[in-house]
Amino acid sequence: MKKWLVRFFSKEGRMTNATIFFLSLLVAVPSGIAQERGKFTVIAWLHQNDWDAGLSSLESHSAQIAEVSPAWYQVQSNGALKNNPNAFVDDSRLLNDVKKNGFLLRPIISNVDASGSHPEWALPVLTNPTLRAALADNIVALVEAKNYAGVDIDIEGLLPKQLPVLADFVEELSAALRSKGKTVAVSLEPTMAQSALVSWKRIGVAADSVRLMLYGEHRASTAPGPSASLWWSRLRLQHILQAVPPEKLTVGVSIVALYWTKGNYRTGTWQRLVRPVQANSGALSRDTDSSAPIVRSGEGQVWFEDRQSLAARITMLKSLGLKKVALWRLGGEDPGIWQALSQEQ
Amino acid sequence: MNLDAHLDNSKKGFLIFAAGLVAFVGGLSFYFAGTAGNKIFGAEPVRMDILDSGFAEISGQGRVAGAFSAQTPSGEASSMPVLVYHGIVDKADGVNVTKQQFLEQMKELAAAGWQTVSLDDFGAFARGDKKLPTKSFLLTFDDGRKDSFYGADPVLKLLGFRATMFVITGSSFNDKTTYYLNRNELAFMRDSGRWDLGAHAQVGHDPRPIDGSGNSGNFLSNRIWLEQKNRLETEEEYHNRVATELSGIKTDLKNQLGVVPAAYAFPYGDYGVDSKNVPNDQNFLLAEVAKNYSTAFTQTRSDTYFTQNYPENSAFYLAKRITVEGNWQGKDLLNAVTAGIAKELPWSEDFSNSKDWVPTWGNSVGQNGVQVLSPTASSTGASVYLDGGNKLSKYKFSSLVQLKAGQSFSLLAAYIDDNNYLSCNYSSAGITINEVTDGRKKEVSSWWFKFPQINSEEISAGIELMDGRARCLLNGKVVLTTDRVSEKLIEGSVGFKVWDPQPDKASLIIKKAVIEPISE
C-alpha cells in the first residue's frame, strides 16, 4: 500500500505530473456523474387542442424529452373508460415518434373535458370498492392491449377530504400495473391543505411518480397575473415535499399563454396570442416576482412563459432539489423555453 | 389442273393484284399525305397473309355461342374495366399471353355478354358525358408491337370487338423496324374500324441514366443524367424534355397518320409514382399530359385500389387498367373484369368465389365456402377489401367470422385505400373504432371490456357507416358509436383485417358478408 502511494508522490512529498493527472481524473469522473444526476427530465403533456403543433414541437425537441402523456382517456362513473372526445388516441404519428425516440408513453386518464373537471364521474367509482377494482382492471387491460408504459392518473376537482379514496385507488392500481411491469404517474392539483398530506404520502409511496400541476394561480376569475408566481409555487412545493420525496416529484409547468382583455379571458399558445402582438409592438414587460413576460395590446394583456421566466423557475426548483418538469402543454410555445431547459440538460 | 384449281389460281392472282393496287394507292396517298418534311414512305406493307391465316385458324373454332344474343347487357354501366396487354405471342413466355389464350379470354368475355367500346366512347363515359351499357370494357395494347396486332386483329374481327393500340412513334416511324408496327400497318388499323390509336411514347419508353453511377429511372418521372455535361439536367431542362416528348407523340401521329390521339398511356404506368429523383411531381406530369390529351392511362400497380373506372365530371381523366397476366385463363380474366363491377345494395357474399375480395396484406384464401385470412411467414396480419365497393355510402356491413388465432380482427368501412378508412376492431380487451386518414391512424372511440370468447366462438360483427357517423355492432347490437368521422370518409368499400403481434400467427375465418343500405 505504501509503495503504491509513493508512486504518486515525489520524495519531497510534492505531487508528480502523473499524479496530478490521475487525481484530476478522480475529480472529473464523479463531477461528470454529478452533472448527469443534475440533468433535468422533461415530460411532455399533449392535448388535442394543439395536437399537430404539439407533435411538431415534440419532434423538434425529441432529444430533450423523456416521456409523453397525451390526454386520451376519460373515466366514466361506471368504472369504464372512454376515449376523450376529439382526442387523437393512438395517433400513428405520435406512436411513430415514441418508437423512434424511445419516449415513455403514459397516456392521461382523467375526469376532465372541455367544460372542466367532473368529480361526479370519478367519485362514484373511487368510493365503491367494486367499481374501483373494475376501473383498475379496465386500465390494466387497456395498458396491456396497447402496450403503454403505464398511465398518468389525473382525477381533478376532488376536495382534500376526498383524497383518501384516490389514494386507495392508486394503491390498488399501482399494485396491479406493477405486476405487469407497468407504471403509474399521478397528477395532483396543488393545495395548501394540511389534510391532503396523509393521502399524498400514500400516493407518493404507491405511485412511480407524482406530478404536481403547479399552475392556476391566475385564471378567468382572478386579476391578470402569471399562471404560477414563484413564491406561490415555492409554498406549494414545500408543502407537498413534506409528503412526497423530491426524486418522485415532477413539477407541472404551464407554457400556455393567458389572455385577459376587458371582461374576457382565454388561454392559447404563444404562437397564436403572443407572437402577432410582439410582431406589431414588440413591447414586453416583466413581472417582478416571477419574471413572467407580459405583452399588452390595447386593453388586453397576455401572460406567458419564456426563456427568462422558465430559467428563474428552474433556479427555484433546483434550490428545492427538484429536477423533473412536465410541460402543459406542448404546441405553439415560446421556443425560448427549450433553450432554458437545455441549460440544465 | 381442274377447273376449281384454275379458278382458285385466278382468284389468287386477282387478290394479289388487288392487294398490290391497294398497297400502291395507299403508298401514294401516304407519300402525298406525308410529304411535309418526312422521308419517302418505305415501310413494309401489311402482312395480309398473317391476318388471313390467323382468321382462318380461329374461324374454324366457330363463333361464340350466344355471345351477342343470349346475354345482351341491359342497363347502364356505373363503372368500366380497361384491360392492358403488351404482346400476343405464339408460344407462352410467362409474361405475354399466347394467341390461343387471347382467343379463349376474349371468347369467355363475349360469351358472358361483355363488349368492347371505342377509345372515344370510353373517354366520354369517364368524363360523364355518355352512358354506356353494362358489361362494356375497353381493350388496350401498349407499345405498338406487331405481334399484338397480328395476334389480336383476327380475334377482334371474329368477335366484333374493338381495341386501342398505344404507339411508340419513335419506333414505329423508323422504317427499319421489324418489331414495332410500321406506318402501313398503323394506317391499316386506323382504317379498319377495329382499332383506335393512342400515344405511348416518342423516344421516352426506355429507362434513362439518372445519376453518374449507372442507376436508371423512367424517362418521364426523373431528371436524367447528362453524360456529356457530367450533371443532372436542370428542372427547366426536365420540364422542357417532358413537354417535348408529350407533344411530340401527338405531332408524329398527326403528321404521319392524320390521327389526333385523345389518349396517352404512361410507360410502365408511371405517372410520377415511381420517380426516383423528382418526388411529388405527379401534379406537373399530369398537368403536362392534360395539355395534350383528355385521357391518360396507368396500369395495375401495388398502390392502385379498385380495378374499374368511374365517371368523373372533369376535363381530364386518369384511368386505371387491369394488366392481363401471362398465365390467365379465360375464367381468370372474366373474374378480373367482373370483380370490380360497382356493387349494388343489398349485396351478399357466400364465399363460393371470392374474386371480389382483394388482398392488400398477407394471404386470403377461399376454401369450402369460407374465406381465410392469414399472414405470410413474415407478416403479422392480413387484410382484404371489396372491389367495386368504392362508391358505397350509408350502409351496414355485417359478417359472421371466427378469430381462429391472433389478438384482434377488424371490419373496415369507408375504405378508399390502405391510408384512408374506418375500422371496428374486436379484441379480447374490447372494441375500438379507428380512423385512418392520409396514412395517419387514430382511435376515435373505444369500449374496454373482457371479451375472452372472441377466440373461441363465431362472432357476428358489423359496422355501420352514415354521413360522418360510424357504429360497431356485436351480435346484432350497437356496441360503440362515433359521430366524429372525418369528412374524407363518407363513402368507400368494406373489408376485413386480422392481426397479432407475432408474425405468422393470426387467422380469421370469414363465413358470411352482407351489405345492406340504411337510411336516416
User: CB–CB of A309/A339 below 8 Å?
Assistant: no
Residue B58's pLDDT is 83
How many Cα atoms within 13 Å fall on the side-chain side of residue A257?
Answer: 26
Distance from CA of A258 to the nearest CA of B (A): 29
| Phi/psi-derived region of residue B88, left when phi > 0, alpha when psi is between -120 and 50, beta in every other case | beta
> Which residue do the cell numbers 381465410 mark?
B372
Residue A282's pLDDT is 64
> Alpha-carbon distance B347 to B281, whole Å?
40
> Which residue do the cell numbers 407533435 mark?
A55
Q: Does A90 touch chain B (CB under 8 A)?
A: yes
> Alpha-carbon distance A14 to A23, whole Å?
13
Q: Write the secondary structure of chain A as one string of H (helix), E (strand) and C (coil).
A: CHHHHHHHECCCCCECHHHHHHHHHHHHHHHHHHHHHCCCEEEEEECHHHHHHHHHHHHHCHHHCCEEEEEEEEECCCCCEEECCCCCECCHHHHHHHHHHCCEECCEEECEECCEECHHHHHHHHCCHHHHHHHHHHHHHHHHHHCCCEEEEECCCCCHHHHHHHHHHHHHHHHHHHCCCCEEEEEECCCCCCCHHHHHHHHHHHCCEEEEECCCCCCCCCCCCCCCCHHHHHHHHHHHCCCCCHHHEEEEEECCEEEEECCEEEEECHHHHHHHHHHHCCCCEECCCCCCEEEEECCEEEECCCHHHHHHHHHHHHHCCCCEEEEECCCCCCCHHHHHHHCCC
- A141 versus B38: the higher-pLDDT residue is A141
DSSP labels, B302-351: TT---SSB---SSS-EEE--EEPPTT--HHHHHHHHHHTSPP-SSEEE-S
Distance from CA of A158 to the nearest CA of B (A): 25
- Looking at CATH, the fold of the domain delimited by A38-256+305-342 is given as TIM Barrel (3.20.20)
> Which residue do the cell numbers 426506355 mark?
B206
CB-count exposure of residue B346 (10 Å: 0-12, 13-18, 19+): exposed
Measured between CA atoms, the residue of chain A closest to residue B449 is A138
Q: How many CB pairs under 8 A join A and B?
A: 47
User: CB–CB of A330/A58 below 8 Å?
Assistant: yes
Q: Does A120 touch chain B (CB under 8 A)?
A: no
Record: contact A141-B447, CB cut-off 8 A:
no
Above 60 in pLDDT, residue B390? yes
Residue spans per domain, chain A? 38-256+305-342
Q: Does A92 touch chain B (CB under 8 A)?
A: yes
> Alpha-carbon distance B408 to B505, whole Å?
11
Q: Which three cell numbers stand for residue B428?
A: 379480447
- Average pLDDT, integer, range A314-319: 96
Name the nearest CA neighbour of B493 among B390, B360, B398: B390
* Nearest CB to B442; choose among A90, A137, A142: A90
Interface test with A, best of B446, B455, B469, B480 (most A CBs within 10 A): B446
> Alpha-carbon distance B43 to A290, whole Å?
90
Specify the DSSP class assigned to residue B224.
Answer: P
What average pLDDT does chain B have? Answer: 88
> Alpha-carbon distance A105 to A97, whole Å?
10
Name the nearest CA neighbour of B454 among B481, B424, B482, B434: B424
CATH 2.60.120.560 domain locations along chain B: 347-517
Query: Which chain B residues are closer than 8 Å to A89 by Cβ?
Result: 442-444, 446
Record: contact A82-B445, CB cut-off 8 A:
yes
CB-count exposure of residue A48 (10 Å: 0-12, 13-18, 19+): buried
**What confidence tier does B61 reach under pLDDT thresholds 50, 70, 90?**
low
Residue B265's pLDDT is 98
Residue B44's pLDDT is 86
Residue B63's pLDDT is 59
Helix (H) or strand (E) segment spanning residue B186: helix B183-192
Above 60 in pLDDT, residue B5? no
Q: Which three cell numbers stand for residue B441?
A: 391512424
Query: Which chain B residues are closer than 8 Å to A91 by Cβ?
Result: 440-442
Residues in chain B, total: 520
- Average pLDDT, integer, range B188-213: 96
User: Is the backbone peptide bond immediately before A266 cis, with ω within 30 degrees of 0?
Assistant: no
Interface test with A, best of B421, B441, B442, B486 (most A CBs within 10 A): B442
Above 60 in pLDDT, residue B65? no
- B273 versus A170: the higher-pLDDT residue is A170
- Average pLDDT, integer, range A23-27: 44
Residue B42's pLDDT is 66
For B400, residues 6+ apart whose C-beta sits below 8 A from its C-beta are: B458, B459, B460, B510, B511, B512
> Alpha-carbon distance A206 to B441, whole Å?
34
User: CB–CB of B410/B496 below 8 Å?
Assistant: yes
Class of domain B347-517: mainly beta
Amino acid at B80: M
Specify the DSSP class assigned to residue B289.
Answer: H
Write the pLDDT tens digit of every residue in B410-438. 999 999 999 999 999 999 888 999 999 99
> Alpha-carbon distance B101 to B155, whole Å?
11
- Average pLDDT, integer, range B445-461: 87
- Average pLDDT, integer, range B250-255: 97
Measured between CA atoms, the residue of chain B closest to residue A80 is B448
User: CB–CB of A226/A168 below 8 Å?
Assistant: no
Other beta carbons within 10 angstroms of residue B330's beta carbon come to 19
Other beta carbons within 10 angstroms of residue A169's beta carbon come to 27
Q: In the beta sheet, which residues pair with residue B195?
A: B163
- pTM here? 0.78
- A32 versus B48: the higher-pLDDT residue is B48
Record: contact B439-A92, CB cut-off 8 A:
yes
Residue B24's pLDDT is 45
Interface test with B, best of A51, A59, A89, A138 (most B CBs within 10 A): A89
What average pLDDT does chain A have? Answer: 89
Q: Which three cell numbers stand for residue A42?
A: 422533461
- B70 versus A287: the higher-pLDDT residue is A287
Distance from CA of A249 to the nearest CA of B (A): 31
B219 alpha-carbon distance from chain centroid? 22
Write the pLDDT tens digit of every residue in A225-275. 999 999 999 999 999 999 999 999 999 999 999 999 988 999 999 999 988
Above 80 in pLDDT, residue A288? yes
* Nearest CB to B446; choose among A82, A86, A88: A82
Amino acid at B496: F
- Looking at CATH, the fold of the domain delimited by B34-339 is given as TIM Barrel (3.20.20)
Measured between CA atoms, the residue of chain A closest to residue B440 is A92
B325 alpha-carbon distance from chain centroid? 11
**What confidence tier does A85 reach under pLDDT thresholds 50, 70, 90?**
confident
Q: Does A138 touch chain B (CB under 8 A)?
A: yes
Cα separations in angstroms, B438 against A93, B388, B394: 11, 21, 22
Distance from CA of B327 to the nearest CA of A (A): 40
**What confidence tier does A21 reach under pLDDT thresholds 50, 70, 90?**
very low
Distance from CA of A229 to the nearest CA of B (A): 37
SS3 at position B230:
coil
Other beta carbons within 10 angstroms of residue A333's beta carbon come to 27
Name the nearest CA neighbour of B195 among B89, B108, B105, B119: B119
How many Cα atoms within 13 Å fall on the side-chain side of residue B449?
Answer: 11
Query: Which chain A residues are closer than 8 Å to B434 by Cβ?
Result: 90
Other beta carbons within 10 angstroms of residue A108's beta carbon come to 23
Q: Does A88 touch chain B (CB under 8 A)?
A: yes
CATH 3.20.20.370 domain locations along chain B: 34-339
Record: contact A82-B440, CB cut-off 8 A:
no
B213 φ, ψ (degrees, to nearest 5) = -105, 20
Record: contact A80-B429, CB cut-off 8 A:
no
* Nearest CB to B444; choose among A83, A141, A145: A83
Record: contact B443-A144, CB cut-off 8 A:
no
User: CB–CB of B121/B162 below 8 Å?
Assistant: no
Distance from CA of A72 to the nearest CA of B (A): 10
